[in-house]
């Protein structure tokens, strides 16, 4: 099968979760391929063996599949609903770089034979001291070829290499300027000598990122490379290598940075930053908080001290601290957003606007910003990618998500929220019978901005009737105040409820009829709904916050509602 005219690729390193910036790269590459009926490739760049893991590669694939970004060639993957993604229709795989070492070595040997690459034997310490000297002299360190001049004959070098002496392979960078034509940034020029003889095969026998990327982009037929701007400075190396290897140069488009609202670069470190700030704040009230956290998290004093000092920034440490201090760390990875109840369609829409926009207006003159992936695939264009960094506006994302939830038909919301709860809040699913799920879902949907928020007022459904803890302030205000007015109302409500739903009627109670009882009672007493409703809420949930009460009782059913009313009355001597 011939390769199509457009082949894009997303090439993550499997060293962690999929970052939201990675999701944007994938989305743009995917949309571009779809628009041009091309091929979207997923390639796993796992040549850094120490930092890569299969688990992380799988996690990245799960996140992409969750976003609906499917790849035409790449590792095979089956989605949770049984759809198969990936494969090798053009026979250019495998798609894990660590499994392509033989291919890299073939191209590498070709370069050596042509005098365009050479084994180098300097010890890391030697290079490090030269680097330090350059830094001390305020100069940019560049590999200086001194050793090459001492032993210029490639045969001597190959002999040393074959004898097993530790070595790397370096690319002999031609002494000429390199021009990179970037579709977003225009022409970027690098003067001769700016790029030094960089390593293309490491001492462990694996190619470096630069070499593997160039060989793979060529052999996988990649025509368009869209990636984060931080890779721009790698591009002259890639272009120089392509030339030396006789490869095509694909079209390059480097995407703008994604920044926080304060213009700092959005990164995984933001989690550490937030956790560190929380420790600082907590230590004002509790000077020994760091020691307490060290022992409670099991991280130990040294790790905690290093973390506080900013010497380590790992997500794991930040997460453990966030959990102990009960603070929410900023969402950075796709998995964070998923866990917090964002919808993939809202994420895609929002992420698509990070550095791109369709350039269309609504009838009212405002920019068209709301669209789905089908629209993106139809209208995506590299020309509309901006140069300036994009701001990650969390308030806007939240409002996109709320709108996306609102747009879901009730039954779809119910099913998707249930699937989310099954994964992230399973207790609700376990406790609320499936037949009553729709009632709960429609009760929380209107005010929910995320699936997680939808679950918050459902704490009442996650406890045994006898385990409700009555919040004293809520009790004082809603039951005991005004000479125990709330308790009296509760007692009257209990009688009316029991009369309306006798035992013989079974456990199902309608939301409408339950609500009507409250209305009637309030009217009879000449009161607003508030005092009656708040008293009932305290009885059913321990606090004065629940979803609408008719639905709350319908979810609990007759037996639990009565049990909770009775327990509350008994506890507070009603
Ligand atoms: N593996 C690189 C990364 O995860 C991407 C390389 C590229 O797109 O060329 O940042």
CB proximity list for 418: less than 8 A, separation 6 or greater: 429, 437, 441
pLDDT digits (tens, 9 = 90+) for 381-437: 999 999 999 999 999 999 999 999 999 999 999 999 999 999 999 999 999 999 999
Task: Find out whether the beta carbon of 12 lies less than 6 Å from any atom of ligand 1.
Answer: yes
Biggest alpha carbon distance in the chain?
104
Q: What is the pLDDT of residue 207?
A: 96
Q: Whose CA is nearest to atom 5 of ligand 1?
A: 11
> In this predicted model, what pLDDT tens digit does every residue of 305-355 receive, in sequence order?
999 999 999 889 999 999 999 999 999 999 999 999 999 999 999 999 999
What lies within 8 Å, CB to CB, of 100 at 6+ separation is 94, 212, 215, 216
Provide the H-helix boundaries in 310-380: 315-325, 334-339, 344-352, 373-379
Terminal C-alpha separation, the chain: 80
Per-residue pLDDT averaged across 550-564, rounded? Answer: 97
Q: Is 45 in the pocket of ligand 1 (CB under 6 A)?
A: yes
Give the span between the Cα atoms of 74 and 52, in whole angstroms: 17
Q: Ligand 1: which of 9, 10, 11 to mutate, judged by most atoms within 8 Å of the beta carbon?
A: 11
Cα 127 from chain centre = 38
pLDDT surpassing 90 at residue 69: yes
- The whole-angstrom separation of Cα 477 and Cα 475 is 5
Nearest to 542 by CA among 448, 455, 479, 452: 479
Report CA(207)–ligand 1 centroid distance (Å). 14
Task: Give the distance (Å) from ligand 1 centre to CA of residue 45.
Answer: 7
227 lines ligand 1 (CB under 6 A): yes
For the Cβ of 11 lying below 6 angstroms from any atom of ligand 1, the answer is yes
For ligand 1, atom 7, which residue shows the shortest CA distance? 11
pLDDT tens for 445-460 read 999 999 999 999 999 9
Question: Does the CB atom of residue 554 touch ligand 1 within 6 A?
Answer: no
Residue 338 C-alpha to ligand 1 middle, in angstroms? 23
pLDDT at 430: 96
Atom of ligand 1 nearest to the CA of 238: 9
Q: At what angle do helices 549-571 and 529-541 cross, to 10 degrees?
A: 70
The verdict on the CB of residue 486 being under 6 Å from ligand 1 is: no
pLDDT in tens, 42-56: 999 999 989 999 999
Report the mean per-residue pLDDT for the chain. 95
Query: CB 187: neighbour CB atoms within 10 A?
Result: 8
Decide if 351 contacts 255 (C-beta within 8 A).
no
pLDDT at 1: 75
DSSP H helices, 258-297, are 269-285, 289-297
pLDDT above 90: percentage of residues in the chain: 94
Mean pLDDT of the region 79-85: 90
Task: Give me the mean pLDDT over the 368-380 stretch.
Answer: 98
Q: Is the CB of 13 under 6 A from ligand 1?
A: yes
Q: What is the pLDDT, as a whole number, of residue 80?
A: 82
- For 405, the token pair is 């939830």
Give whole-number Cα distances, 442 to 23, 415, 417, 551, 557, in Å. 31, 11, 11, 9, 16
Reported as a single tens digit per residue, the pLDDT across 118-168 is 999 999 999 999 999 999 999 999 999 999 999 999 999 999 999 999 999
Per-residue pLDDT tens for 246-260?
999 999 999 999 999
Residue to substitute in 209, 218, 258 for testing ligand 1 pocket (most ligand atoms within 8 angstroms of CB) = 209
């Amino acid at each position: 099968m011939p390769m199509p005219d457009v082949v894009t690729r997303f090439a993550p390193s499997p060293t962690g979760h999929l970052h939201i910036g990675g999701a944007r790269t994938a989305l743009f590459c995917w949309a571009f391929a779809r628009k041009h009926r091309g091929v979207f490739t997923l390639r796993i760049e796992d040549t850094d063996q120490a930092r890569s893991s299969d688990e992380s590669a799988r996690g990245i694939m799960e996140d992409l599949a969750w976003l609906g970004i499917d790849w035409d060639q790449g590792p095979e993957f089956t989605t949770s609903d049984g759809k198969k993604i990936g494969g090798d229709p053009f026979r250019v795989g495998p798609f894990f770089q660590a499994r392509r070492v033989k291919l890299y070595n073939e191209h590498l040997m070709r370069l050596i034979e042509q005098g365009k690459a050479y084994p180098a034997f300097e010890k890391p310490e030697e290079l490090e001291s030269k680097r330090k000297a350059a830094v001390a002299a305020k100069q940019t360190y560049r590999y200086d070829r001194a050793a090459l001049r001492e032993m210029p004959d490639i045969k001597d070098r190959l002999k040393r290499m074959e004898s097993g002496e530790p070595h790397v392979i370096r690319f002999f960078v031609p002494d000429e300027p390199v021009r990179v034509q970037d579709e977003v940034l225009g022409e970027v020029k690098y003067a001769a000598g700016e790029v030094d003889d960089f390593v293309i095969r490491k001492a462990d026998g694996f190619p470096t990122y630069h070499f593997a990327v160039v060989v793979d982009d060529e052999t996988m037929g990649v025509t368009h490379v869209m990636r984060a701007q931080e890779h721009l400075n790698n591009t002259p190396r890639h272009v120089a290598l392509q030339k030396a290897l006789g490869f095509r140069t694909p079209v390059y488009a480097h995407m703008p940075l994604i920044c926080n609202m304060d213009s700092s670069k959005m990164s995984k470190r933001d989690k550490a930053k937030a956790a560190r700030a929380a420790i600082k704040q907590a230590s004002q009230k509790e000077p020994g908080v760091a020691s307490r956290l060290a022992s409670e998290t099991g991280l130990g004093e040294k790790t905690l001290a290093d973390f506080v000092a900013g010497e380590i920034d790992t997500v794991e440490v930040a997460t453990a601290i966030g959990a102990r201090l009960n603070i929410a760390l900023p969402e950075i990875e796709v998995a964070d957003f998923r866990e917090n109840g964002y919808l993939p369609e809202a994420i895609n829409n929002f992420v698509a606007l990070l550095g791109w926009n369709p350039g269309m207006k609504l009838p009212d003159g405002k920019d068209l910003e709301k669209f789905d992936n089908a629209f993106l695939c139809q209208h995506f264009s590299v020309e509309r990618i901006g140069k300036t960094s994009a701001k990650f506006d969390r308030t806007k994302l939240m409002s996109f998500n709320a709108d996306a939830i609102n747009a879901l038909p009730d039954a779809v919301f119910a099913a998707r929220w249930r699937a989310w709860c099954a994964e992230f809040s399973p207790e609700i699913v376990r406790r609320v019978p499936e037949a009553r799920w729709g009632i709960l879902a429609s009760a929380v949907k209107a005010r929910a901005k995320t699936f997680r928020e939808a679950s918050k007022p459902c704490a009442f459904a996650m406890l045994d009737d006898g385990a409700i803890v009555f919040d004293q302030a809520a009790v004082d205000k809603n039951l005991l105040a005004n000479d125990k007015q709330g308790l009296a109302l509760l007692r009257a409500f209990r009688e009316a409820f029991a009369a309306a739903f006798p035992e013989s009627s079974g456990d199902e109670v309608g939301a409408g009829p339950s609500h009507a009882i409250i209305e009637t009672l309030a009217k009879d007493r000449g009161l607003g709904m508030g005092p009656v409703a708040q008293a009932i809420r305290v009885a059913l949930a321990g606090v004065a916050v629940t979803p609408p009460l008719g639905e709350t009782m319908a979810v609990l059913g007759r037996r639990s509602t009565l049990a909770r009313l009775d327990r509350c009355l008994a506890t507070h001597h009603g």
